[in-house]
Amino acid sequence: MIVRTLSFPFRYAFAKLKKAVGKLGEIKIEPLYAFGNEDRIYVKARVLEAYKQSKPSAKKNSLQNILAALRRYAGSSVPDAKVEVFCLGQKKVVLSDDEGIIECEFDAETSMVKEKHRVGFSLVPESGLIPEKRKSYLDVKQFAKDHPIGVISDIDDTVLISHATDIGKKLWLSVSKNAYTRRPFPGVSEFYKELTDHGKHPVFYVSSSDWNLFDLIKDFLKYRNIPLGPILLQDLHLNLKNIWKSGGGDHLHKLEKIRMLLELYPGMKFYLIGDSGQHDPELYAQVIKECPGRIKSVYIRKVKKYGGERDQLLQELLKYDQSPEMVFVKSTQEAMQHAKEHSFISS
């Protein structure tokens, strides 16, 4: 993310220049998510210059994966592109931002929750922009406000082995592996299937990674047979402060996304899953403080030692009525055993 952030002014200026002189290649719209409740649907996508990316494979070597990573990060986002978004019989025209992101929301109807819907995206024709294909589509994930259970999970060092506390190891894994060769923690697929009752309940992935890793994360979850759900990553929002923080992203964005999910589904109680490597325990404790009774349990994978000061802080934050247990585990099997003992999943 550091290179992505520091190179932003050059990439933005270059994309604007190529658009002005008609030298942009074919443009593609990458749907990111479409989900909501009975009242509203949130939609997000990216507009970027189409680039030929080889499909991930377990047979790819490190050099091939490094070249694929370079292509992923070198791809030009397309700012100021007009996109028509269609959903539930409604149409909106949205302008992409500096990083090519478009987002909007649509009104929904209570009776539609059990029906299947799609959101469509279409590039508005203009000089210098040639669409790769006429329309792109994404299935809408719609859940009732009073749906009983949901799961909110971090990704790095929670689902995906990332070594996020070691910048060198994390960087090497990011560029030398692909979606098929990155490794999950043992037991994650089974645990998440049990918590979601094999797809009956939703799972939301909230991470400080940027949107360039969206395709890798999505393909990884599919390949490893881990329950799929909306993936909420971090927008760049360039400023001088986050240039120097860009190694792991601004983790407060995760807190904002969790608050949004709690507001969107006021009747839903959540399991929160994360790791101790960064700020998940503190963020989740803050959520418990703000929303008593909304969290069923918290599972934190221990990937980094923490001192008594942090433990004392967490104990203070958890001294509230209806506070759930924050369970620190070394393995997914420990978390599953705790969930069985408390009847969160069947034994």
What would the pLDDT profile of 205-226 be if each residue is shown by its tens digit?
999 888 888 988 999 999 999 9
The phi-psi region of residue 334 (left if phi > 0; otherwise alpha if psi is between -120 and 50; otherwise beta) is: alpha
Q: What is the pLDDT of residue 153?
A: 97
In words, the CATH class of domain 149-341 is: alpha beta
* Closest C-alpha among 182, 158, 147, 122 to residue 270: 147
| pLDDT, average across residues 184-198 | 95
Supply the pTM of this predicted model.
Answer: 0.84
Q: What are phi and psi of 273, to 5 degrees?
A: -130, 130
Rounded Cα distance, 202 and 210, in Å? 22
Q: Strand, coil or helix: what is 334?
A: helix
With beta carbons less than 8 A apart as the criterion, state whether 102 and 138 touch. no
Q: Which fold has domain 2-142?
A: Immunoglobulin-like (2.60.40)
Residues forming a β-bridge with 206: 232
Q: What is the pLDDT of residue 218?
A: 94
Q: What is the mean pLDDT of the chain?
A: 82
pLDDT in tens, 252-305: 889 999 999 999 999 999 999 999 887 898 899 899 989 999 999 999 998 866
* Closest C-alpha among 227, 232, 189, 192 to residue 214: 232
Q: What are phi and psi of 30, to 5 degrees?
A: -105, 100
Rounded Cα distance, 7 and 252, in Å? 23
pLDDT in tens, 127-176: 668 888 889 999 999 999 999 999 999 999 899 987 766 667 666 666 66
Q: What is the pLDDT of residue 303?
A: 83
* Closest C-alpha among 50, 124, 119 to residue 82: 124
Considering only residues 314 and 13, tell me which one the structure prediction assigns the higher pLDDT: 314
Domain boundaries, the chain: 2-142, 149-341
Considering only residues 94 and 171, tell me which one the structure prediction assigns the higher pLDDT: 94
Examine domains 2-142 and 149-341 and report if their fold is the same.
no
